[in-house]
Amino acid sequence: MKKYLAFLGIFILIIGFCGCKETFNPEEPTPLASPTNLGIVVAGSDSLSLKLTWTASSDEVDGYYIYFDGAVLDTTTATTYTDTATSLGDYKVSAYKGTKESAPTDIMSTKLVETVNPVGPVWWMAAPTDTGPSGYGWADNGTGNTYSMADSTAATAKAMVDFYMDSVGLVKGTDKIISPDNLYGNGWNATCFYDFGGNVYDTVSVVPGWGCWMNYAEITALNSTYALFVKDKYFLKIKITERQSSGHHYIKFLYGFQPIAGFRRLK
């Protein structure tokens, strides 16, 4: 009986010890505050370099990691960084102190805003009333749309149209994509065109300086590629994928829009 009581006492002590033991929960380390407000603008006279800027972390940090497409591109102790980019991709920035790293900023991308399927049609200026003449234009985020050209004073068209189509004009007898400032004068967006010709849409990496361009471009064949400089801001490329050059003229096309204003790299 004594042995039983002794065993019972030891068992109760063990249960009591286990039941009263506190669980050790070390505090999670305080994360570093992230940098914020990442922005990208064109830098340099060649329009092929980019300047990144951001707001500093509110914590004391050793510096910042510059990421490009998920990999560390470089480090800096400043809150600006200039990159001569040779390809398109996604940038983000994080702060670090020792081995600690903050969460990154929101991503800023230089990748093109591209169509998957051809857009349009854009109808020539002599289109019948059942279709009506139309133009095409892009918003600053790269989304595009067709707009009626039937009313040449329409506020929406004046704000948005970047080119229209005609089969006559400066060189009669051929279809052209034309800057609306060529037709209507001041108040319309000026657009410059550069003709790459041929089926080269997927290989166009850099467009030339816009100052040598024309304010219209001949449409000579399907799959022809053109560079556009629109709203005195943005570069893009289009490829003519469908064309009707007799009767009721129209075109459909693919496009790739560079969302960084003034950046000439398109691949």
Q: What are the domain boundaries of the chain?
A: 36-109, 113-257
Asked if residue 184 lies in contact with residue 144, where contact means CB atoms within 8 angstroms, the answer is no
Summarised one tens digit per residue, pLDDT across range 1-52 is 444 444 444 444 444 444 444 444 555 678 999 999 999 999 988 899 999 9
Summarised one tens digit per residue, pLDDT across range 93-134 is 999 999 999 999 999 999 999 999 999 999 998 888 888 899
Q: In whole angstroms, give the CA distance from residue 174 to residue 158.
A: 25
Query: How sure is the predictor about 168, in pLDDT bands with cuts at 50, 70 and 90?
Result: low
Superfamily of 36-109 according to CATH: Immunoglobulins (2.60.40.10)
Minimum mean pLDDT among 18-27, 46-55, 63-72, 241-250: which range? 18-27
Asked if residue 80 lies in contact with residue 55, where contact means CB atoms within 8 angstroms, the answer is no
Q: In whole angstroms, give the CA distance from residue 266 to residue 263.
A: 8
Over the Cα atoms of the chain, what is R_g? 30
Query: How sure is the predictor about 155, in pLDDT bands with cuts at 50, 70 and 90?
Result: low
pLDDT attached to residue 12: 45
Residue 173, CA distances (Å) to 18, 219, 226, 243, 245 in order: 95, 11, 20, 15, 10
pTM of the entire predicted model: 0.84
